[in-house]
Amino acid sequence: MGPGNDTQISEFLLLGLSDVPELQPLLFGLFLSMYLITVCGNLLIILATISDSHLHTPMYFFLSNLSFVDICLTSTIVPKMLVNIQTHSKVITYAGCITQMFFFLVFVALDDFLLGVMAYDRYVAICHPLHYTVIMNSWLCGKLVLASWTITVLYSLSQSLMALRLSFCTHVEIPHFFCELKQVIRLACSDTFLNDMVTYFASVLLGGGPLAGVLYSYSKIVSSIRAISSAQGKRKAFSTCASHLSVVSLFYCTVLGVYFSAGATHSSHSSAVASVMYTVVTPMLNPFIYSLRNKDIKRALKIFFGRKL
């Protein structure tokens, strides 16, 4: 069958995480709770950075953007999943599936890029502290965020348009809880060689590029911290990047764990369960990681809620 949506597929079926009826109320309550915690936690980070002038710095500018992206990422996936569980339906329209896939690719790639940008920010702060305000000016910060958005939107748009050219047969069951790109491509009856190649090279370039930047930045940061003579100076320098390092480790470990586990087990269900980590759990934990050990965020939240220091 040649390229084109000749079969006029109108809907797909999202099989979700489990078919056991008794587990559906538990899944609904669990994911609803995690979604509300994610939205509220990240929204508080955004409000804190906006309301406190002391947090109008590059680090918190990138953090507020990351929080916004995390809200959007979970909102792209979880509400549809909750609706399907509540209505006992697995249906998602063809247009809805492509739209969900587009926005998922945008926001998960933005997470990747923003973590790389934040690593560069920490590198400049620790390795070039005297030139930090000159290098990380508002103009550069805005350009970095704008470039991240532009690249990820163009990438996601190209992937979505390439998915539109595929033809689908009668089997329209997606063994996942959202329209994941690889799972949708697997259902196609037409040739998917071009889609697979673009996905592979994009994963290497867009995924490996920011990761390489993170590794390079932290290699320089570690070298600079080791060169500090006093133990107190080392602790202070490390504390400025500890939260970001925790978020980076959580994000990349879960993403790599998903693809390595999927490759090892060849199980779509295992991949779907593992995907919960970086699509739902990681965005939920990010606000806690940044706020629990961050006195600036705690102070800003107290001020925001009208409490005394």
Most confident among 125-129, 135-139, 277-281 (mean pLDDT):
135-139
pLDDT at residue 59 above 80? yes
pLDDT computed for residue 304 by the predictor: 74
pLDDT computed for residue 229 by the predictor: 77
User: Residue 210 and residue 113: Cα distance in Å, rounded?
Assistant: 6
pLDDT computed for residue 259 by the predictor: 66
Residues 6+ apart with CB under 8 A from 147: none
What mean pLDDT is reported for the chain?
86
Query: Domain 11-304 has what CATH class?
Result: mainly alpha
Give percent above pLDDT 70 in the chain: 92
Among the ranges given (59-63, 155-159, 259-263, 281-285), the one the predictor scored with the smallest mean pLDDT: 259-263
Q: Residues 163-167: what's their mean pLDDT?
A: 89
pLDDT at residue 308 above 80? no
pLDDT at residue 34 above 90? yes
Contact 288, 41 (CB under 8 A): yes
Q: Helices (DSSP H) in 203-230: which residue ranges?
A: 208-227
End-to-end Cα separation, the chain, in angstroms: 68
User: Residue 157 and residue 205: Cα distance in Å, rounded?
Assistant: 16
Q: pLDDT tens digits, residue range 2-14?
A: 444 445 678 899 9
Q: Which of 89, 51, 76, 43 is nearest to 286 (CA)?
A: 43
Q: pLDDT tens digits, residue range 88-107?
A: 889 999 999 999 999 999 99
Give bridge partners of residue 13 from the DSSP assignment.
91, 173
pLDDT computed for residue 1 by the predictor: 40
User: Residue 46 and residue 287: Cα distance in Å, rounded?
Assistant: 10
pLDDT computed for residue 204 by the predictor: 85
Query: What pTM does this model have?
Result: 0.90
pLDDT computed for residue 145 by the predictor: 96
Mode of pairing for the β-strands spanning 91-93 and 173-174: unpaired
